[in-house]
Amino acid sequence: MKALIYHGPGKKTWSDAPRPQLIQPGDAIVQVDTTTICGTDLHILKGDVPAVQAGRILGHEGVGTVVETGSAVHGLAVGDRVLISCIKSCGHCANCRSGLYSHCLGEEGQSGIGWVFGHLIDGTQAEYVRVPYADNSLYKLPDGVSDAEAVMLSDILPTGFEIGVLAGGVSPGDVVAVIGTGPVGLAAIATAGLCGAGTIVAIDRDANRLEQARGFGATDTVDSSDPGWKDKVLALTDGAGVDVAIEAVGLPETFSMAVSLARPGGHIANVGVHGASVTLPLQELWIQNISITMGLVNTNTTPMLLKLVVGHKIPAAKFATHTFTFDQVMEAYDTFARAAETKALKVIITRNPAHS
Ligand code: NAD
Ligand code: ZN
């Protein structure tokens, strides 16, 4: 089969790889119908995620068709159309039983980390993928949802909702600021209304993405390259700050922006993956009763989010800005990496463009 193989920092090829085989009885082999690229894949290609070894097939998002199941798989059958979650979960360990799938202790990947695809085991940017703990890590898809909509449930929608909106404690009437309107920030914007956010302020310095943010539910947009950006955000509150500041970039500068916006008693929900330490002004924050959260997505809200995508309550299709076939995957990477010029949000890579 063909797959997108990582060969060390800066190097990738779309080339031949052995077709995956069942290893554990709980495994399924899925033929990948549709996949996409995440900002995290670009981090890996820069060499920022050293756990990813040369030879690894990348990708942790996908929709596909079950073609083989192990003897311990009971809830799935050959031919089922499924969503591949970016997090595998054994369903039995102490962490899975408390909903902390991100730290599944199941031995696959052997790290106590639920994110294994395209990280510790071969991923979804391939014609076929082996999915461990298939009964828990795959979700059967109903007919009413397209591949391009469903693939947004592999990672970005649960991440924005769980690590941004839920961890930030968004409550009815809240003013919520989302810093960074890439796919993950937009997913937080698209789901903040589920918890009753009253005002949703999108903050970025990319004019196109700010414009897109309105289509996902932002009530206001602020360009953070404007030196007066903070006053503009505060003007949308009672002057004291926002109830919840969601950081969806992953830079020290944007974390500081989130800190500077939170009102007394407010929340800072960090979603961004950081590669360097940040400054945390505890000497100012302690007396403001601020809470700060962070985390790896659990994907335990996926079944609920799937219902909302099926019911068109979340505009999942809007994330898909470009469509490629599998043999155009290098072009898809290039388009995604130059998002500011190409206006890409999520690039769809599919076996059958007519059906995506
Ligand atoms: P992205 O790179 O597409 O989007 C980041 C956005 O931030 C861009 O629109 C960019 O213009 C904006 N930005 C950059 N610098 C800025 C600044 N100084 N001020 C304002 N805006 C600025 O990334 P994405 O795919 O949306 O992912 C966002 C983050 O979430 C990444 O760090 C990613 O690794 C992380 N992530 C975390 C999890 C998790 O489980 N916690 C899961 C998936 C992704
Ligand atoms: Zn587990």
169 with 244: CB under 8 angstroms? yes
Architecture of domain 157-294: 3-Layer(aba) Sandwich (3.40)
What was the pLDDT predicted at 111?
A: 72
294 with 163: CB under 8 angstroms? yes
Q: Residues of CATH 3.90.180.10 domain(s) within the chain?
A: 2-155+299-355
| Cβ of residue 206 lying under 6 Å from some atom of ligand 1 | yes
Q: Where does the chain show beta strands of DSSP type E?
A: 2-6, 12-16, 28-36, 62-69, 81-84, 128-131, 138-140, 175-179, 199-204, 220-223, 242-247, 262-270, 291-294, 320-325, 346-350
Q: pTM for this one? A: 0.96
CB atoms within 10 A of CB 61: 30
Class of domain 2-155+299-355: alpha beta
> Hey, whose CA ends up nearest to atom 29 of ligand 1?
272
Distance from the alpha carbon of residue 162 to the mean position of ligand 1, in angstroms: 15
| Cβ of residue 254 lying under 6 Å from some atom of ligand 1 | yes
> Hey, whose CA ends up nearest to atom 26 of ligand 1?
182
Rounded to whole angstroms, the Cα distance separating 250 from 137 reads 27
Q: Residues of CATH 3.40.50.720 domain(s) within the chain?
A: 157-294
Top mutation candidate among 113, 184, 293 for ligand 1, by most atoms within 8 Å of CB: 184
Shortest-distance ligand to the CA of residue 98 = 2
Distance from the alpha carbon of residue 77 to the mean position of ligand 2, in angstroms: 22
Distance from the alpha carbon of residue 17 to the mean position of ligand 2, in angstroms: 28
Distance from the alpha carbon of residue 279 to the mean position of ligand 2, in angstroms: 34
Tell me the pLDDT of the chain (356 aa) as tens digits: 999 999 999 999 999 999 999 999 999 999 999 999 999 999 899 988 899 999 999 999 999 999 999 999 999 999 999 999 999 999 999 999 999 999 999 876 667 899 999 999 999 999 999 999 999 999 999 999 999 999 999 999 999 999 999 999 999 999 999 999 999 999 999 999 999 999 999 999 999 999 999 999 999 999 999 999 999 999 999 999 999 999 999 999 999 999 999 999 999 999 998 888 999 999 999 999 999 999 999 999 999 999 999 999 999 999 999 999 999 999 999 999 999 999 999 999 999 877 66
| Cβ of residue 297 lying under 6 Å from some atom of ligand 1 | yes
Distance from the alpha carbon of residue 60 to the mean position of ligand 2, in angstroms: 18
What was the pLDDT predicted at 355?
A: 66
| Cβ of residue 183 lying under 6 Å from some atom of ligand 1 | yes
